[in-house]
C-alpha cells in the first residue's frame, strides 16, 4: 500500500485500541440476539421462523451488500463510515428496546446489521492508517479477534445483566459499548491519516475493480467461508450437546461455551504475531485449516471421552484463530492503495458470511438425515479439507505478488 505507508512512522496504539474497541462493541451488538433469543421469544411471542429471521437478518444483509459498504468506505472515507456505523448501531439498539412488535424489532435488527457491516469494513482502514508498516500485519491480525472478543464479552455479561434488567439491560450494555467506541475513535481522529475520504474522481470504481479482479481476494474469501462453517457448526453444536446429551445445567453450558469462543482470541493474536515475524500466510492458513479439521473430527467422535472432546473443541477455536488473522491482514498485499482496503474487506465479508448463513441449515439437514450429531461431522471436516486446498492455492498466488508480507 504505497499511499498508506508514507505518512505513518510510528504506530499510534491508542488510536489502534479505539478502532479495536469499535469492533468489539459491534460484535457484542451482533452476538446479543443469539444469546438472548429465548428471552426475546418469550417477550414478543416469536415463532421459530420469526426467531430464525431475527437471528439471520445480519448474515442475509452481509451476504447481499457488504461489498457495497466496502466501496462506500473507499469512497467517503473510513472514519466517516465507522462513525456512521456506530450511530446506526446505537439507533438500532434503542429501536429494539422501544420495539413493541416483531416487525419493529426486525427493522431495528436490520439497522444494527447495517451498523455491523459499516464498522467491519471501515475499522481496518483506521487500523492501517494508525499503524506503521512494520506493525500493520500484526495490528490487522489482532483485529481478527474482534468477533470472538465481543461475543465472549456479552456472553459473560448477559447472566448478570439479565438478572438486573431483563434482555433490555443487555441491549443498553451494547449501546454503551458502541458509544464508548465511537467517542474513542472521534478522540483519536487526528491519527487516522489516510482514513479521510479522498477527493472524488472518476476512477473510484476502477480502483475497486482492481481488487475484484485479483484471484487471491476471492480465494481468501472462500477460505474464510470454510472457517465460518467450522466455527459456527461448533457454536451451534456444543451448547446443544452439553445440554441435551449430557444434561448439564444452563450455567455450565454457558461457561463452557463462552470459554470455547474466547480461546479464539489468543489464536488470532498469535496469528498476527507470526505474520509480523514474516511467517508465510499460506503456511498459517494450511496449518490452521488442517489442524482445526483434525480437532473437529475428534470433537464429534463418540469413542473419545467427554473431556477429550471438549479439549478438541477448544483446539478448533484456538488453532482456527490463525485463519481469520491471516485473511483479514491480507489487505497489506491485495490493497495496492489505501482506497482499496474497504473493498477487500467488504468482498471478504460478503463471501465469508455465506458460511455463516448456510452452515447451520446444512448441519441441521445432516443431523435430520443421519439421525445423530456425529453423523454430521462430514460438514465441518469437509470444510476444513476445502480450507487446506484453498490455503495451498492462496500460498501459491501470493508468491506472485511483488510485496510479500
Q: Measuring CA to CA, how many Å separate 3 from each of 162, 268, 387?
A: 48, 27, 32
Domain boundary among 199, 233, 255: 199
pLDDT digits (tens, 9 = 90+) for 50-108: 888 888 888 889 988 898 898 888 788 899 999 999 999 999 999 999 999 999 999 99
- At residue 77, φ and ψ (nearest 5 deg) are 110, 140
- The answer as to whether 38 is a domain residue is yes
State whether 167 and 281 are in the same domain: no
Residues 6+ apart with CB under 8 A from 37: 51, 54, 55
Give the number of domains in the chain. 2
Q: What is the pLDDT of residue 198?
A: 52
CA distance 244 to 240: 6
State whether 138 and 232 are in the same domain: no
Scanning 6-132, the segments in alpha helix (DSSP H) are: 13-35, 37-44, 48-76, 78-98, 102-130
- The answer as to whether 1 is a domain residue is no
Q: What is the pLDDT of residue 211?
A: 84
State whether 293 and 377 are in the same domain: yes
State whether 130 and 244 are in the same domain: no
CA distance 113 to 115: 5
- The answer as to whether 2 is a domain residue is no
Low-confidence ranges of the chain (pLDDT < 50): 2-6, 195-196, 199, 202, 402-405
**Structural domain of residue 283, as residue ranges?**
201-405
- The answer as to whether 132 is a domain residue is yes
State whether 205 and 284 are in the same domain: yes
Q: What angle do CA 131, 71, 146 make, to 5 degrees?
A: 45
Domain boundary among 199, 222, 241: 199
pTM for this prediction: 0.88
State whether 187 and 219 are in the same domain: no
pLDDT digits (tens, 9 = 90+) for 335-384: 777 778 888 899 999 998 888 888 877 887 888 788 777 788 889 999 99
For 61, other C-beta atoms within 10 Å of its C-beta total 20
Domain boundary among 167, 199, 231: 199
State whether 243 and 386 are in the same domain: yes
Q: What is the pLDDT of residue 204?
A: 62
State whether 211 and 318 are in the same domain: yes
State whether 54 and 178 are in the same domain: yes
> What's the CATH code of the domain at 381?
1.20.1250.20
- The answer as to whether 345 is a domain residue is yes
Amino acid at each position: 500500500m504505497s499511499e498508506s505507508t508514507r505518512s505513518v512512522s510510528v504506530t499510534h496504539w491508542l488510536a489502534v485500541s479505539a478502532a479495536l474497541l469499535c469492533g468489539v462493541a459491534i460484535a457484542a451488538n451482533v452476538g446479543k440476539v443469539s444469546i438472548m433469543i429465548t428471552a426475546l421469544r418469550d417477550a414478543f411471542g416469536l415463532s421459530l421462523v420469526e426467531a430464525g429471521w431475527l437471528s439471520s437478518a445480519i448474515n442475509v444483509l452481509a451476504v447481499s451488500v457488504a461489498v457495497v459498504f466496502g466501496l462506500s468506505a473507499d469512497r467517503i472515507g473510513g472514519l466517516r463510515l465507522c462513525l456512521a456505523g456506530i450511530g446506526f448501531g446505537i439507533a438500532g439498539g434503542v429501536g429494539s428496546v422501544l420495539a413493541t412488535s416483531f416487525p419493529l424489532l426486525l427493522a431495528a435488527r436490520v439497522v444494527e446489521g447495517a451498523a455491523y457491516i459499516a464498522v467491519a469494513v471501515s475499522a481496518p482502514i483506521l487500523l492501517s492508517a494508525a499503524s506503521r508498516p512494520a506493525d500493520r500485519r500484526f495490528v490487522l491480525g489482532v483485529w481478527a479477534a474482534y468477533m470472538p472478543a465481543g461475543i465472549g464479552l456479552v456472553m459473560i455479561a448477559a447472566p448478570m445483566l439479565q438478572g438486573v434488567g431483563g434482555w433490555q439491560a443487555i441491549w443498553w450494555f451494547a449501546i454503551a459499548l458502541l458509544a464508548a467506541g465511537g467517542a474513542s475513535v472521534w478522540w483519536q481522529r487526528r491519527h487516522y491519516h489516510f482514513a479521510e475520504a479522498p477527493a472524488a474522481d472518476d476512477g473510484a470504481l476502477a480502483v475497486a475493480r482492481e481488487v475484484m479482479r485479483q484471484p487471491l481476494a476471492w480465494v481468501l474469501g472462500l477460505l474464510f467461508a470454510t472457517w465460518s462453517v467450522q466455527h459456527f457448526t461448533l457454536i451451534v453444536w456444543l451448547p446443544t450437546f452439553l445440554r441435551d446429551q449430557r444434561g448439564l445445567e444452563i450455567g455450565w453450558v454457558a461457561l463452557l461455551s463462552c470459554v470455547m469462543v474466547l480461546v479464539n482470541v489468543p489464536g488470532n493474536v498469535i496469528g498476527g504475531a507470526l505474520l509480523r515475524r514474516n511467517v508465510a500466510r499460506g503456511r498459517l492458513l494450511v496449518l490452521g485449516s488442517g489442524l482445526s479439521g483434525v480437532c473437529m473430527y475428534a470433537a464429534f467422535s463418540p469413542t473419545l471421552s467427554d473431556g477429550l472432546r471438549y479439549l478438541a473443541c477448544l483446539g478448533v477455536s484456538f488453532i482456527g484463530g490463525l485463519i481469520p488473522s491471516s485473511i483479514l491482514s491480507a489487505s497489506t498485499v491485495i490493497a495496492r492503495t489505501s482506497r482499496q482496503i474497504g473493498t477487500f474487506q467488504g468482498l471478504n465479508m460478503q463471501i465469508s458470511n455465506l458460511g455463516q448463513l448456510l452452515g447451520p441449515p446444512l448441519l441441521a439437514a445432516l443431523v435430520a438425515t443421519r439421525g445423530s450429531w456425529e453423523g454430521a461431522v462430514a460438514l465441518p471436516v469437509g470444510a476444513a479439507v476445502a480450507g487446506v486446498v484453498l490455503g495451498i492455492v492462496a500460498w501459491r498466488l501470493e508468491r506472485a505478488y511483488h510485496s510479500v508480507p
